[in-house]
Chains A and B, each alone.
Chain A
Amino acid sequence: MIDTVFPATIEISKFLLFLSMILVCIRIVRGLHAGDRVVDLDMLCLLGVGVAALAAITSGSMAFIDVVLGIALIGFLATVAFAGFIARGTTQGGGD
């Protein structure tokens, strides 16, 4: 039974992650503030982590778990850098 359930589960998960990416991209287009877009970028990175985990299952090679570490690191650094950028930008705009 699991031989039929497992591929269907993988397909459903792929579809759900695809749909999540579409929703987050809609939010990026609609985002009101720069901070909103950075939050959505962070969410896209986390979705990339999920997709890499799914790719590790579908391709059968656990090397994709290393990809997860890379994506998580880049997402964290990008979010921190953008947060500092937003805060600094408001400082220099309001200070002068």
Chain B
Amino acid sequence: MGVTKMLMWLSAFFVLSGSLVTFIAALGVLRLPDFFMRMHAATKAGVVGPSLLLVGAGFYEPSWSTWIKIALAILFLFMTTPIASHLLGKAGFVGGVSVWEGTARNDLENVLPSDVFVETDAPISSEKPAGNMLTCAPTTLPRQ
């Protein structure tokens, strides 16, 4: 078995496993009962699937430039997707998304109010502050 055939086998394996993982992620996005569970499916399996597909593409035509670009793309996916879904989960929680009724424990229930967005930076003076970060209480402003 030549080297090119070996690389074709590797490419086929990675492409097939990547598309399978992606399909499982899409199935989870469709079927899971809760916003946060759907986000979990889209984040974890949704990152691993395309990364495996990219590795498969790299084994199909291996060269240094291809591998560097693929490594950059995978690194970028692994760095940005957790940040994006963390922000999205926080926005969903403070936006009043209800958790699944079978959820055993909700640690953020009394920590983060579900109807007000707590600013983590210092509020801009021209902007109305949304809440007091220390007491987690919404600021009541006089009506203008």
Contacts and interface: CB of A to CB of B under 8 A. Distances in A.
B92 A35 contact: yes
Interface string B40-55: 0011001101100110
A83 B91 CA distance: 6
Interface in B26-61: 26-27, 29-30, 35, 38-39, 42-43, 46-47, 49-50, 53-54, 56-57, 60-61
Given A20-B23, A80-B83, A39 B29 contact: yes
B21 to A, nearest CB: 10
Contact of B130 (A24, A53, A95): A95
Given A50-B22, A80-B84, 8 more contacts: A5-B12, A38-B88, A42-B85, A49-B54, A54-B19, A54-B53, A65-B73, A72-B73
B133 interface: no
Interface in B1-33: 5, 8-9, 11-12, 15-16, 18-20, 22-23, 25-27, 29-30
Nearest to A88: B117
B16 A69 contact: no
Contact of B76 (A26, A69, A84): A69
Nearest to A64: B57
| Interface size class, chain A | 35 or more
Interface of A: 2, 5-6, 9-10, 12-13, 16-17, 19-21, 23-24, 26-27, 32-36, 38-40, 42-43, 46-47, 49-50, 53-54, 56-57, 60, 62, 64-66, 68-69, 72-73, 75-76, 79-80, 82-84, 86-91, 94-95
State the majority secondary structure of interface residues on B. helix
B84 A23 contact: no
A17 B22 contact: yes
A88 B81 CA distance: 21
Contact of A90 (B84, B87, B95): B95
| Interface size class, chain B | 35 or more
A32 B29 CA distance: 13
State the majority secondary structure of interface residues on A. helix
A33 B92 contact: yes
Nearest to B17: A13
